[in-house]
Amino acid sequence: MAKNGNIHPTRNFKTPEDLEKAFEEYKEHLKKEALEWVKVQYVGAAGMKKEDAFKLPYTMEGFSVFCFKKYGTIKHYFNNTDEMYNDFCTICSHIKEEIRSNQITGGMLGLYNPSITQRLNNIRENTDITSDGKSIQSMPTSIQIEITKPDED
């Protein structure tokens, strides 16, 4: 056992529950950070000013930055470096799924840009309107041009 009390000397979290707690802290952090991103609207006949905070999406990058500043790097947990983080696989999968679910739901509700949501989550719609699902084969094309001199009168 390492001096920091963990099984692995570079572990920032002793248990999967500690990583889960960090994710819950990240979600609370986003609620507070959302107050910095406000949408200003003028409502009613009098045009009263109303400010609403945007809902910020969960992102893996955001969680990673949050953890790095507070705990240190988390990439080893999600990559399971040298299979030293096997006990964290379940919570890491859960965190990834919750982030993905948040992004997709937010995109479907129009809270987040649907196009970016699709790209981040590898969701795309393919429509084949030319080949009826068959592979397209290019045909050799040759063009012959004959240049003739106009008749002189």
- Note the pLDDT of residue 153: 59
Is residue 84 in some structural domain? yes
44 DSSP assignment? T
Is residue 82 in some structural domain? yes
CB atoms near residue 151 (< 10 Å): 5
Computed from CA positions of residues 112, 113, 115, 121, in that sequence, does the dihedral angle turn out positive or negative? negative
Is residue 37 in some structural domain? yes
Is residue 64 in some structural domain? yes
Contact criterion met (CB below 8 Å) for 39 and 33: no
Is residue 142 in some structural domain? no
What is the domain extent for residue 67?
Answer: 16-120
pLDDT digits (tens, 9 = 90+) for 74-92: 999 999 988 889 999 999 9
Question: How large is the average pLDDT for residues 82-104?
Answer: 94
DSSP strand E in the chain: where?
38-43, 48-53
Is residue 141 in some structural domain? no
60 DSSP assignment? H
Question: How large is the average pLDDT for residues 125-131?
Answer: 69
> Quick check: pTM over 0.75?
no
Question: How large is the average pLDDT for residues 45-66?
Answer: 91
Higher-confidence position of 116 and 4: 116
Q: How confident is the model at residue 7 (pLDDT cuts 50, 70, 90)?
A: low
Question: How large is the average pLDDT for residues 20-25?
Answer: 98
Is residue 91 in some structural domain? yes
